[in-house]
Structure 1
């Protein structure tokens, strides 16, 4: 149920019930501020559909309130329509209505719309520079793929290697690991894991579980490090709901240990288990699952 509260003489949804659709220099933009009540929104959508059916870009844009045009997804939608209509300069202007300076959460769709507008204007060098800047900011693999595809032979290999080198030093090691899984490059993922093991967040089991699975085939040491990050997090934080999965991870570590000739800087399996028993021996709910 949406709760209404009185503000400036009007009843508006409570803050927790309001949906953010963008931002401006003054702060968040909420859908109820832009579209008004449900009846207004229904009429506006109907007029947009009519404009779509008639291929009337200007009529479609006219149905977007001024404030909504500062929302990145709305601006990207408008820009894409303008590019298709051969009005790329106007598309860039529409995109520039979004305040992106200093923001790390600019949607991929807005970035892609800007690239396509630049290419439509044959400003290809600018488009490539923007792709690379977006990649450096987000490590979105789609930006690097698009950048590499537009390079001549041999230059594309060099650019890929440069992208990998940048990802290896990206401030967020977990985001970098996700990038290497998406590419995919298990070798680079293993390199990242073994050199930045202390930065892995075992709470990200949605990332660490598939990472360990991918790495276990060729890189048992790296897979072990990933599994241990989840084991350590679960036991140190006392997440008993994860004990069953953690017991399975420890069994996987035991299986991988036979494939590892050199544990390098990490403790061998039996020593690691001994450390766990010393530090978490009282967590009987976990140890009872090991058999």
Structure 2
């Protein structure tokens, strides 16, 4: 049972309105962001018009500001912007969709100025505007904004977008614009030069279901590239033109030996299924699995087999994995599929091949194997420790020290080292070879 002193809504409600009001006045003293949130809440309590007035004033103030926002001040800016977005799309939209739509457009309009004076290395600020842009379509529908008017607003936003905040604006507005609005948007884009290459025209054609218009944006040379062919085929298939999609896919060429053209393959699989050629699709899935050890494609392959055939095919897949030229891919597949005994045997059979560079895969595998296969887990952990020290990557020393401690714990469960050095011998080798890596050894001692 939670303590009555725990900070949660129920316990705070028990204090009563008067006490909470006093506390809010106290904690908001000198905190401009909190004070603005409180004023906004008070305005919202008066109705949509009061909240809208408060939001409009705040957006104007943010737009007027020329102060550079570094990483230290970025969280406050984010909280401020998020409060305005939530007010617009929440209480204001519920009571007055037209007012909310106008305010959301204003919110999006200030993005260019905000992003120009803001340090946004993590992309969180542009992400907030992206989220708001996705809400414009449903809000415009609720407000019954004329499609032509919405198109003209959209092109203004696209013209000012220098940070990619509105890359997904056209798909988000497709329903609200309708075919007439999309035509107007294309016309405005052409008139105002807001084409961004052909990206916007492609989005408009796709939103209109204009497969021919989408196809027309590419040259014959473009269509010979598999990534472009895959994208075009996806749009053609969505418009019921599977046969033409297959022609384009088959006319594309691989871009290099050994290249994994996953998008092209997935597009071709979808087209083959649409053309009711499942046997070809199954053969293609199996060939792709043998090359890439892709779990989604193997699962799709097994799911489409007749009863009792999937078990035999699964065993064949394990054999393919165990003989795959990439031991790393093989281990990752066997661990992810859950056949840990096979994964452990693979690790032990190729004990000298694990270099620890793919530490995300090694770490995940070692964690899964540690319960029932401690020696295999230990060998993977040792590879990461040795690799971090040999390359002198001090930023990985903390992780390496944790891995070495895990090896120490696993050693207590090992009686048979199968010819590998025990834990004490391995640590001795580390000290002999890397005794000068003081940063690492301090972490181990700690």
| TM-score, structure 2 normalization | 0.53
CA deviation vs aligned residue, 1:222-266 (integer Å, no higher than 9, x gap): 110110111121222232332222111111101001112321131
CA apart distance, 1:62? 0.9
Find the residue that maps to 1:103 and give its secondary structure: coil
Normalized per residue, the structure richer in helix is: 2
Find the residue that maps to 1:105 and give its secondary structure: coil
Q: Which residue of 2 aligns with 1:172?
A: 326
Q: Which residue of 2 aligns with 1:226?
A: 380
1:137 and 2:291 matched: yes
CA deviation vs aligned residue, 1:130-155 (integer Å, no higher than 9, x gap): 11111112122122111111112221
1:126 and 2:317 matched: no
Unaligned runs of 5+ in 1: 1-38
Residues 205 and 230, structure 1, Cα contact 8 Å, conserved in 2? yes
Residues 139 and 175, structure 1, Cα contact 8 Å, conserved in 2? yes
Residues 80 and 113, structure 1, Cα contact 8 Å, conserved in 2? yes
Partners of 1:175 and 1:111 lie apart in 2 by 19
Q: 2:416 aligns with which of 262, 267, 274?
A: 262
Moved over 6 A (4+): none
- 1:33-52 superposed matches below 5 A: 39=193, 41-42=195-196, 44-52=198-206
Q: Which residue of 2 aligns with 1:243?
A: 397
Q: 1:95 aligns with which of 249, 257, 280?
A: 249
Q: 1:209 aligns with which of 358, 363, 371?
A: 363
Q: Which residue of 1 aligns with 2:36?
A: none
CA deviation vs aligned residue, 1:55-113 (integer Å, no higher than 9, x gap): 22112211223332223222112212333333322211111232127632233221111
- 1:100-119 superposed matches below 5 A: 100=254, 103-119=257-273
Residues 322 and 330, structure 2, Cα contact 8 Å, conserved in 1? yes
Residues 206 and 235, structure 2, Cα contact 8 Å, conserved in 1? no
Q: Which residue of 2 aligns with 1:76?
A: 230
Partners of 2:341 and 2:223 lie apart in 1 by 43
CA 1:240–1:55 in structure 2 vs 1: closer, same or farther (change >3 Å)?
Answer: closer
Q: Which residue of 2 aligns with 1:185?
A: 339
Q: Which residue of 2 aligns with 1:62?
A: 216
Partners of 2:221 and 2:316 lie apart in 1 by 40
Partners of 1:62 and 1:96 lie apart in 2 by 18
Q: Which has the larger radius of gyration?
A: 2
CA deviation vs aligned residue, 1:17-37 (integer Å, no higher than 9, x gap): xxxxxxxxxxxxxxxxxxxxx
CA 1:87–1:284 in structure 2 vs 1: closer, same or farther (change >3 Å)?
Answer: same
CA apart distance, 1:190? 1.8
Normalized per residue, the structure richer in strand is: 1
| TM-score, structure 1 normalization | 0.79
Aligned residues: 254
Unaligned runs of 5+ in 2: 1-192
Q: 2:315 aligns with which of 153, 161, 165?
A: 161
When the two chains are superposed, the root-mean-square deviation of aligned CA atoms in Å is 2.2
CA 1:61–1:257 in structure 2 vs 1: closer, same or farther (change >3 Å)?
Answer: same
